[in-house]
């Protein structure tokens, strides 16, 4: 399973290096962007992280979740997406651009029948999307998803935390790096 995750990450790194502008982009006016990610966290767990920023790039909210077992990489990304959608719905957020660094997840969401092992999770996601206004799911390169990635990686330290208004100190440098170019 470790080799699968490394292969997945390596694929994203290769794709990123081909991108001529691997910088985080603000969403359109009136929208917010929700970046989410899954990753192995701690000794044996899977972590999820998300960050929401407005159309000026200003931090709104971040959250983490931790599961005490390791998931298959694509399954982890799908579960992370469902978790992020649940959080957005519970917070009553609208006009959201969801962004993932997992291109295969975006394809799976568009064609759940092509991914039978994830179909029930993806159908849950589609039901959650129905309760949101102006939703989109976009693929972004790993370099533009570093804040959510950092939160997922450190989720074992911050199990089920939510930060409104002020980000956790551990991600301040990642947030700043998104605007350094």
Q: Is 72 exposed, middle or buried (0-12, 13-18, 19+ CB in 10 A)?
A: middle
Torsion sign across C-alpha atoms 26, 31, 37, 41: positive
Angle between helix 119-129 and helix 103-110 axes, rounded to 10 deg: 80
CA distance 137 to 164: 23
Give per-residue pLDDT as tens, 15-72. Answer: 333 345 678 899 999 999 999 999 987 678 999 999 999 999 999 999 999 999 899 9
pLDDT at 14 over 60: no
pLDDT at 6 over 50: no
Q: Which pTM does this prediction carry?
A: 0.85
Q: CB of 60 within 8 A of CB of 96?
A: no
pLDDT at 181: 52
User: What structural domains does the chain harbor?
Assistant: 2-20+28-177 (3.30.420.10)
CA torsion angle 29 50 19 95 (round to 10): -20
Mean pLDDT of 78-107: 96
């Amino acid at each position: 399973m470790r080799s699968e995750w490394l292969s997945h990450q390596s694929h994203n790194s290769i794709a990123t290096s081909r991108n001529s502008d691997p910088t985080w982009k603000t969403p359109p006016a009136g929208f917010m962007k929700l970046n989410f990610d899954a990753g192995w966290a701690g000794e044996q767990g899977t972590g999820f992280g998300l960050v929401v920023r407005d159309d000026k790039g200003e931090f709104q909210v971040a959250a983490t979740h931790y599961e005490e077992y390791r998931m298959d990489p694509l399954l982890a990304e799908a579960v992370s997406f469902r978790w992020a959608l649940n959080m957005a719905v519970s917070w009553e957020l609208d006009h959201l651009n969801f962004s993932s660094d997992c291109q295969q997840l975006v394809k799976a969401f568009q064609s759940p029948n092509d991914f039978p092992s994830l179909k029930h999770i993806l159908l849950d996601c589609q039901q959650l999307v129905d309760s949101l206004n102006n939703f989109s799911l976009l693929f972004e390169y790993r370099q533009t998803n570093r804040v959510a990635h950092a939160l997922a990686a450190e989720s074992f330290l911050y199990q089920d935390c939510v930060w409104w208004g002020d980000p956790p100190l551990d991600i301040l440098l990642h947030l700043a790096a998104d605007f350094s170019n």
